Amino acid sequence: MKELEQIRTMYQHKNKDIHNLDTWNEVKNLFLGKNGYVTSCMKEIKNLDPKDRKSFGEAVNQLKNEITVLLDKKKVELENLEIEEKIKSMPRLDLTIPTQEECGSLHPVTIVQQKLIDVFRSMGFAVEDGNEIETEYNNFEAVNIPKHHPARDMQDTFYLNNGQLLKTHTSASQNRIMKKYGAPLKVIFPGRCFRNEELDASHENTFFQMEGMMIDKDVSISNLIYFMKTMLSEVFGKEVNVRLRPGFFPFVEPGFELDCSCPYCGGKGCKVCKQSGWIELCPCGMIHPNVLTMGGINPEEYQGFAFGLGLSRLVMMTYGIDDIRHLNGKDLKVLEQTKVK
């Protein structure tokens, strides 16, 4: 028993010398290893007088437990120390220092167009692509603008040497799309349009539009209003109001100019809406019966509405771009500002 007391004292002494895992292992071996002091004592038990065995056995076991607990505790301490050391040796970085992140850019028109496409697709519209070079028939006749119609005056058309032209409006695709799909139909078709005019801050000869059509058996003016309001609220990410005014476009009857309550000032008046609270945003109307007929759709059975959105204008509003020429300008210092999103 006295021997056990000596071992205990010895351990207490040794415990202080443990500074790392190596010394920890040494000490553990010294006491609890195969030939360690405690293990040796355990081996002694069977040689003892049977009447002493029980009490000695209990005492050895208790000693073993005591040492095990102390060793475990020491090990946790050591490990904590080691992690603290690691942390101390870790470099401390300043992440507030600016870094040069490299990223390409999408053209602002692409970004706004994609946003619109997403909105329309979410509302069940198909997306169609169109040519930039069109026939006179598709651009004019098929949308109810016969030869010598005064409406051809409003559009300074780029003509090509083979009699074709650069399309003056996305409506040039209406006929082809109606013939391709027939009714009912819900489709949008973005495209680049061309007008032969001099350039300035608000005039480009190459610009972007997005047009849409919805044709079905019971499509009414009140559906058009509902749809435009819902769509524009989605586009601007806030509730807007719309109002219709008469507008003359040969391919719709009745034709409307649609004003949208200014999403920037909520209708109070600001620079964007020229203090009026309204933004003239998109010509629209019920598709003219002649246009439906030429597209192979029976106007007695089907009605529909069509609308055009000035994509270039929407882009300029969205990004606060004040000169339309930037959109075709190819100056990367300007374009790089619309990083990929």
Partner 1 sequence: MYISVNWLKDFVNLDGLNIEDVVQQFTLSCAEVEGVEYKGKDVQGVITARIEKVVDHPNSKKLHLLEVNTGKEKLAVVCGAPNVKVGMITAFAPIGAQVGQLTIGKAIVGGYESYGMCCSAKELGISDDHSGILEFSADQQIGVDVKKVLPIDDIIIEIDNKSLTNRPDMWGHYGIAREIAAITGRTLQPYIVDQHTYSGKENLAIEVLSPSCYRYSAVRIGHVTKHSSPEQLKIRLYYCGMRAISLLADLTNYIMLELGQPMHSFDGSKIQSITVRDIQQNTPFTTLDGVQRILPSGTMVIDTNHEIGAIAGVMGGQSTEIEENTDSVFLEVANFEAVKVRKTATAIGLRSESSARYEKSLDPEMTMMALRRYIYLLQTIDPNCEVVSNICDVCVKKYDKIVINITKQFIDKYTGVDIPQERMVHILTSLGFQVTENGSELCVHVPSWRATKDISNKADIVEEITRVYGYDNIVSKPSTQPIKPLRIGTDIVREYDIKYMLAQRYNWHEIHSYIWEDQPTNAMLGIETPSYIYLINSLQKDNENIRSSMKPTMIRTLLQNKRYADDFGVFEIGHVVTGMKDHLAQEEKHLGIGVMTKQNNFAQKLLEVKDSILYLFHYVLQLPVRLEESRPTEEYLCPINHYDIICDHESVGNIGVLHPKVQQKIDAEKVVILVELNVSKIYQKPAEISKYESVSKYPTTSLDFNFVLDQEKHYGDIEEIAHKIPTTLSYHVELLDIFDNGNTKNYTLRYFVTSKDHTLSSEEIEQFHTSVITTFEQHGVYLKTE
The reply to whether 233 sits near partner 1 by the rule CB under 8 A is: no
Could you tell me which residues come within 8 angstroms of residue 64 by beta carbon, excluding any fewer than 6 positions away?
32, 38, 42
Whichever of 183 and 260 has its CB closer to Zn ion, that residue is 260
Exposed/middle/buried for residue 127 (C-beta within 10 Å: 0-12, 13-18, 19+): middle
Which is closer to partner 1, CB of 50 or CB of 246? 246
Q: What Å distances lie between residue 45 and 7, 36, 37, 48, 189, CA to CA?
A: 16, 15, 13, 5, 95
Find the binder of partner 1 among 288, 295, 313, 317 (CB under 8 A): 288
Stretch that binds partner 1, among 43-51, 55-63, 184-192, 268-276 (CB under 8 A): 184-192
Do residues 272 and 279 lie in contact, with contact meaning Cβ atoms separated by under 8 Å?
A: yes
Which region, judged by CB under 8 A, interacts with partner 1, from 26-34, 55-63, 92-100, 101-109? 101-109
Q: Which of the listed partners (Zn ion, partner 1, none) does 265 bind, with a CB threshold of 5 to 8 Å by partner kind?
A: Zn ion
Count of residues touching partner 1 (by CB under 8 A): 86
Query: Does position 61 bind partner 1 by CB under 8 A?
Result: no
Stretch that binds partner 1, among 11-19, 20-28, 77-85, 283-291 (CB under 8 A): 283-291
265 binds Zn ion (CB under 5 A): yes
53 C-beta neighbours (distance < 10 Å), count: 14
* Whole-number CA gyration radius for the chain: 41
- Nearest approach in angstroms of CB 93 to partner 1 is 25
Strand partners, 216: 303
Q: Give the max Cα distance, the chain.
A: 130
CB of 265 to partner 1, least distance (A): 20
* Residues at the interface with Zn ion (CB under 5 A): 262, 264-265, 270, 272-273
